[in-house]
Amino acid sequence: MKTAFVTGGSRGIGKSIALDLGNKFHVVVGYSVSNEKAEEVSEKIISNGGSSSTVQINISETSSVDEAFSSIEKDAENSHASPLLAPAAQIKYRLPFSGNWSIDCIN
């Protein structure tokens, strides 16, 4: 199954995007502050028959972005699928792609 990483996925438009992608992708719900809200979104995706996990990311810190993408890339390598990025929260730094990412800019 392909992976979709939704930054800002714990609320607002990011939450809507994550829930919509939940029946087609393993959705990684990216959050900055509220792990609780991200877990709620992830649990809803799973209860609807999908697959989901969460990752904390501070989009204003390069090291945080690097760590989040590294984690997601490792998971994607294990499933032999290219991850999809759906940035509901804008990442302002050069994205640290080392693999074959598909990018869907939803800003």
What is the dihedral sign for C-alpha 7, 11, 16, 22? positive
Alpha-carbon dihedral angle through residues 13, 30, 50, 15, given to the nearest 10 degrees: -20
Q: Are the beta carbons of 5 and 95 closer than 8 angstroms? A: no
pLDDT tier, 66 (very low <50, low <70, confident <90, very high otherwise): confident
Higher pLDDT, 87 or 11: 11
pTM, whole model, 2 decimals?
Answer: 0.76
Q: Is the pLDDT of residue 16 over 50?
A: yes
List residues bridging with 7 in a β-sheet.
87
Nearest 5°: the CA angle 9, 6, 34 is 30
Question: Bigger pLDDT: 24 or 91?
Answer: 24
Does 107 have pLDDT greater than 50? no
Residue 37 has pLDDT above 60, yes or no: yes
